Amino acid sequence: MKTKWTIENIDDLTGKAAVVTGANSGIGYEMALALASKKAKVILACRNREKGEGALEQIKQKYPDAEIRLLPLDLSDLSLVRGFVKEFRQHYDRLDILINNAGIMAPPYGKTAEGFESQFGTNHLGHFTLTGLLLDLLIKTPRARVVTVSSLAHLFVKMDFDNLNAEKKYDPQVAYGYSKLANILFTYELQRRFKKAGVDTIASAVHPGWTATNLQDHWPVVRFLNKFLAQKPAMGALPALYAATSPEAEGGNYYGPGGWLELHGYPVKSTSGKASYNTGDAERLWELSEELTGVTYTFS
């Protein structure tokens, strides 16, 4: 990998379709902007239609010829995830890049439409559902990529399957860590299943380091420290863009910033926390996710 990989290293993406969840702001917007600049067909998958339309207009102002579309997606309601997939299929018959980026961080206790703890339900189960429902398009598209955005927060937890839904106790930061660890366990297990099925789709996990975004609105201390420690969203987006586009990126890897403590810098291959390599937890999480969402992955 080049020591200072940037969007300038991305090849022309003409004809390729890319979905970015949470593309209306922060690193998701920067991902969508970069992909549009390389002539991909970019789908902004956003919960807030008004903010999504604003992002679309900003990208169009910078790249008037960009092929870009807004499709509403609320990951906290699995019926709406199914609605997104149905609408996506009306417009596209391939999917080259799926970036599972959207998420919520450390909000007060809440539940999704199906009754799941909001962070686990949105950050993990929502993306598990989305990826599973788009799986056939990913598999039939040559060398497609699934990139799931995790966080350094996964380093401070290990899976507690007895409290994933916060029935016993709710700690906003711990619950966020569970959801981000689940993102990586899911990614590694997905890659193992891709490899076993003999398909050339690859799955990678990434983290953006310490990047200032509105994701931290519910975490006052982090929000305060942003002005001193955070990098800009355009830098935080680079690991996901690398995993989504670089010929050197490989499935089953974890990419993040290469600077001090992985808080800042250009993307490099990294090593996720010990708990993320627990294959028993990954298989258990997979089975639980299929049961909770009603989505069964078929790799044939």
At 8 the pLDDT is: 97
Which residue is associated with the tokens 């239609």? 49
**Could you report the per-residue pLDDT of 62-108, keeping only the tens digit for each?**
999 999 999 999 999 999 999 999 999 999 999 999 999 999 999 99
Q: Where are the beta strands (DSSP E) in the chain?
A: 17-21, 41-46, 67-72, 97-100, 145-149, 202-206, 254-257, 267-270
pLDDT band for 223, please (50, 70, 90 cuts). Answer: low
At 226 the pLDDT is: 53
pLDDT band for 251, please (50, 70, 90 cuts). Answer: very high
- Decide if pLDDT at 210 tops 90: no
At 270 the pLDDT is: 97
**240 phi/psi in degrees, rounded to 5:** -65, -40
* Nearest 10 degrees: Cα torsion 89, 94, 96, 101: 0
**Could you report the per-residue pLDDT of 38-65, keeping only the tens digit for each?**
999 999 999 999 999 999 999 999 999 9
pLDDT band for 260, please (50, 70, 90 cuts). Answer: confident
pLDDT band for 261, please (50, 70, 90 cuts). Answer: confident
At 211 the pLDDT is: 76
> Which residues are tagged catalytic?
176
Side chain identity at residue 78, one-letter code: L
**261 phi/psi in degrees, rounded to 5:** 55, 20
Q: Is 288 exposed, middle or buried (0-12, 13-18, 19+ CB in 10 A)?
A: middle
CA-angle at 121, arms to 55 and 196, nearest 5°: 95
What is the distance between the alpha carbons of residues 73 and 27, in angstroms, rounded to a whole number? Answer: 17
Decide the pairing of beta strands 145-149 and 67-72.
Answer: unpaired
Which residues on neighbouring strands pair with residue 71, listed in sequence order? 45
Mean pLDDT, range 174-182, rounded to an integer: 97
pLDDT band for 182, please (50, 70, 90 cuts). Answer: very high
Mean pLDDT, range 177-192, rounded to an integer: 98
pTM: 0.95
Q: Lowest mean pLDDT: which of 107-116, 133-142, 161-170, 286-295?
A: 161-170
